[in-house]
Amino acid sequence: MRPVYMVSGGVSKFAKARPDATFQKIVKESFDYAMNDVPKLKHSMIDGSVVSYFSDHFTRQLMAGIMAVDYLGLCPKPNKRIEGGGATGGLCFQAGWEAVASGRMNVCAAFGFETMSHVPTWKGNEFIALASDVNFDYPVGGFYSGYYAMMVNRHMHEFGTTVEQLAMVSVKNHMNAYGNPYAQKRRKLTIADVRNSAMVAYPLTLLDICVMSDGAATCILADEETAFKLTDHPVKITGVGTGTDMMRMSDRPHGEVLLAPNEKKSDYGNLKYPGVHSFRAGRSAGLQAYRMAGITDPLKQIDFVELHDAYTSSEIQTYEDLALCKYGDGGKFVEAGYPFMPQIDYGMKLPKKGTLPVNPSGGLIACGHPVGATGLMQAVFAFWQIQGSIKKHYGSPELQLKKANRGLIHSHAGTGTYVTVSIMERGW
């Protein structure tokens, strides 16, 4: 395998609805952004591409992938569509990595999109719920917020996690997004605002849950030689991991914890794992990526994380899967202030504020979740953070972390069925 670098990235402005453009044009906005950011990269140097979108139902257009590819002028070069629920974008990023790592391409464009505004919100929820077993689960009352609510109720039962801890994640991510001009929702909130918003699926409120979005993102990946020809500041992808789990939550085993290098069996007593309180796929993906990147103590060895916070609860569960803290300590992790940004005022007292910022971009909850773009959007925001180019791209240095040499991006599909983790590092 060859080392792979990210040399550029671009996003469209995420919005509730983009009736002014079809998906092809939205993808081109993100692609042009990425191309313009590396002037030395000529269109002819791109050897091929990978494209991702989640749902044919939202587009009501089969083979939308090739239509994005032809709009970008990338025919007749290689391309394929990547799909895996909520993790679609993360899987696409890794498919681009594979294309370059294998030597098949020197330069690969990975882009993804979703146009969710084409149906009303509750029809959109129905489409998304079709990503659950249609024999046994969907007909019982298919609703993803309900599935995640059941998971967090069990998490609260096992570990004592509180709704206020969940709300802190929402406050943090919405506040971070305040400085991100590409984010869909930029709001200053309090814990009380989150708890007083409409109850969607007990105990998750409207502000615990991400929204439907229209948007696209593009990442340009290259081999080492090409990367350094194109830019002085390429970002190296040093670890990739992909985990899976059974579609039906009811089928998940109740066995032993998959231990991280910084954990031991005695840490967990009789905890039944993963049950429905934890994402085994997230732990599996994290361990693979850590092994590849040589990470043994993630809390100390990673500078920031962009993770899949479709729900505030899944952000807390993911801290644990990624071994940023022990299983069960996710609520305390946010309460102590670890995942907040050191330079932002959140209007609350946080003893360990900013030790390992999580979702400095604002995450899915605030940026939006145009599914096929989301995992790639995280890569773009992480890329800018590591390059130190936040001021250039956001128009303000407010969200730039002082130390951002190594970041982790995490993409997650329906109740933890597919999870990708990729490690990105300063490459120069």
Q: Is 211 in the site for another protein (CB under 8 A)?
A: no
Q: Is 316 in the site for another protein (CB under 8 A)?
A: no
Q: Which two tokens stand for residue 282?
A: 């997230």
Within 10 angstroms of residue 115's Cβ, the number of other Cβ atoms is 28
Between 276 and 404, name the residue whose CB sits nearer to another protein: 276
Near another protein by CB under 8 A: residue from 108, 276, 325, 371: 276
Residue 248 carries which DSSP code?
S
* Cβ partners under 8 Å of residue 92, min gap 6: 50, 51, 52, 82, 110, 111, 112, 372, 375, 376
CA distance 316 to 342: 19
Site size for another protein, by CB under 8 A?
Answer: 43
Between 9 and 146, name the residue whose CB sits nearer to another protein: 146
Q: Is 292 in the site for another protein (CB under 8 A)?
A: no
Listed ranges 150-158, 213-221, 309-317, 319-327: which one lies at the site for another protein (CB under 8 A): 150-158
- Quote the least distance from Cβ 135 to another protein, whole Å: 5
Between 95 and 210, name the residue whose CB sits nearer to another protein: 210
In three-state secondary structure terms, 425 is: strand
Near another protein by CB under 8 A: residue from 157, 188, 300, 391: 157
CA distance 299 to 330: 13
Over the window 46 to 85, marking each residue x when it contacts another protein by CB under 8 A and - when it does not, the resulting string is --------------x-------------------------
Between 60 and 392, name the residue whose CB sits nearer to another protein: 60
Q: Is 401 in the site for another protein (CB under 8 A)?
A: no
* Cβ partners under 8 Å of residue 27, min gap 6: 12, 51, 68, 71, 72, 111, 113, 216, 218
In residues, how long is the chain? Answer: 428
Near another protein by CB under 8 A: residue from 198, 345, 349, 402: 198
Calculate Rg over the CA atoms of the chain.
Answer: 20
- b/e map of 330-343 (b: 16 or more CB within 10 Å)? bbbbbbbbbbbbeb
For the four alpha carbons of 84, 85, 87 and 93, in that order, the dihedral sign comes to positive
For 227, phi then psi, to 5°, come to -55, -45
- Quote the least distance from Cβ 274 to another protein, whole Å: 12
N- to C-terminal Cα distance for the chain? 20
Between 187 and 248, name the residue whose CB sits nearer to another protein: 248
Near another protein by CB under 8 A: residue from 86, 142, 243, 427: 142
Q: Is 153 in the site for another protein (CB under 8 A)?
A: yes
Q: Is 203 in the site for another protein (CB under 8 A)?
A: yes
Near another protein by CB under 8 A: residue from 4, 34, 46, 129: 129
Q: Is 270 in the site for another protein (CB under 8 A)?
A: no
Q: Which two tokens stand for residue 349?
A: 């007292």
Q: Which two tokens stand for residue 78?
A: 């290689």
Binding site for another protein (CB under 8 A): 19-21, 60, 120, 122-123, 125-129, 134-137, 139-143, 145-146, 149-151, 153-154, 157, 198-203, 246, 248-252, 254, 276
